[in-house]
Amino acid sequence: PEKNEELFLFLDSGIYRFRSSNAIFIDPVRILNSSYTRFRVSPAAYYSRSFEHIKREETPLASPSSRKRKRKQSKSLPRNETEESAHQRHLAARPLLLRAHEALLGVKDLLSCLCDIKNDGRSSVESKELLPFVELGKVWQAPLYEMSLYFRPHDKQTEDGGMPLIQCGEREVVPIFNNLVVNKTSDDLEAEFHTRWYIIPRESCFYMSDLGQIHNLIPDQSDHGFNLIVIDPPWENKSAYQKSVYSVLPNRYFLSLPIKQLSHTEGALVALWITNREKLQVFVEKELFPIWGVRYVARLYWLKVKLDGSLIGDLDLFHHRPYECLLLGYSNVQEVASDHHSAFKRPQDNQVIISVPGDYSRKPPIGKLLLDYAPGPKPARCIELFARELFAGWTSWGNETLHFQDSRYFLNV
Ligand code: SAM
């Protein structure tokens, strides 16, 4: 039957397309695994987040503090203009999200695959076990910090029974900060820094630096620019937890991101993650995209579910929506043809991508889903800005690009 065929495809690719709706379910772990040959992403480490239950309404008894009462009272006041447009935006998204969620709940085989996805014998990774790259990159010694890359010689794979393979490989020592580190090989590479190990996927590269150095990624030749640019900026946010996880930047810093210079001469698809703050949505539409020279084309939703398929929180909770948005636009593309004359497809508006979230603020790997919409020559040249991980064939830039590459997030095959 057709349904099982889709499930079969999902088990291999991590992507399940629902026929009945505009929704796609993805398993980030399966998608990420396609970047590696000798390693696997540990599902227990990826799916380690617990979702605290956020209640819809607090009864006065359950919330005795006067602050909470005040807030509750103010909810009953008429909405101001900004709150009203946020509400309208939510009402527009609501039916799409509900339909997508129903589609997921309707495929029992898929749900049963999710239940025991976490059991790989690993425990979750504690942040104190990981290196603080943002801080290390700021100290005066940062330019001196070096990383050792260990290349594995293919012809020696089974030699010297018992001897760690890595010792018979070649080693290359490179600066870890403000430097483009490249794995040109078609194999995973193990790299050592400060006694910790990192897994670098094939044909990937990273540049770990502060925003001030991003211009070093602008290609010398304009036809060496990128065809797909995924951006997840550190937007300012009230969440105290977020503040302790990574530093944020005021909006004006993003206006100067060199999106046009990073774009390929034949164009780039720009995918920007945004939060649900209404003011931010307006800033992106009215200021940021126009300054970048990006023409808006579509909006995608990321709907977050738990491993049992239920939403991570109430759909209508104002400050804790269980979804986020990804805005798509084109840079350096004059006309976006919607017919067959174009070499790339125009993205469908209102698609819903469903997945179980990983660590706080970690976005699902949507790169593969976007490749069809990237203009220019194939294979598309792809970059992620403000990245905390690497993908095979991609360039990653940010001040902690190796965060999720720590070997603690991986299992040996
Ligand atoms: N997309 C990432 C993921 O899925 O894991 C999360 C990105 S997070 C929203 C924003 C990132 O921007 C954080 O890693 C943060 O450290 C980084 N960042 C903040 N300020 C920066 C700066 N001035 N220069 C470079 N990166 C910065």
pLDDT in tens, 335-344: 655 555 567 8
Q: What is the reported pLDDT for 243?
A: 61
Q: What is the DSSP letter of 226?
A: B
Q: What is the mean pLDDT of residues 270-294?
A: 96
Q: Is 277 exposed, middle or buried (0-12, 13-18, 19+ CB in 10 A)?
A: middle
Q: What is the reported pLDDT for 365?
A: 98
For ligand 1, the distance from its centroid to the CA atom of residue 309, given in whole angstroms, is 29
pLDDT over 70 at 172, yes or no: yes
Residues in contact with ligand 1 (CB, 6 Å cut-off): 134, 210-211, 232, 234, 246-247, 249, 361-363, 386-388, 398-400
Instruction: Say if CB 28 and CB 404 are below 8 A apart.
Output: no
Nearest CA to ligand 1 atom 5: 362
pLDDT in tens, 33-68: 999 999 999 999 999 887 765 555 443 333 444 444
Nearest CA to ligand 1 atom 12: 386
pLDDT in tens, 359-391: 888 999 999 999 999 999 999 999 999 999 999
- 8 vs 301, residue with greater confidence: 301
pLDDT tier for residue 162 given thresholds of 50, 70 and 90: very low
For ligand 1, the distance from its centroid to the CA atom of residue 227, given in whole angstroms, is 21
Instruction: Say if CB 380 and CB 196 are below 8 A apart.
Output: no
Instruction: Say if CB 207 and CB 361 are below 8 A apart.
Output: no
pTM of the model: 0.90
pLDDT over 60 at 163, yes or no: no
Nearest CA to ligand 1 atom 16: 246
203, two tokens: 């044909």
Closest CA relative to residue 360, chosen from 65, 127, 119: 127
CA atoms 122, 131, 272, 314: torsion sign: positive
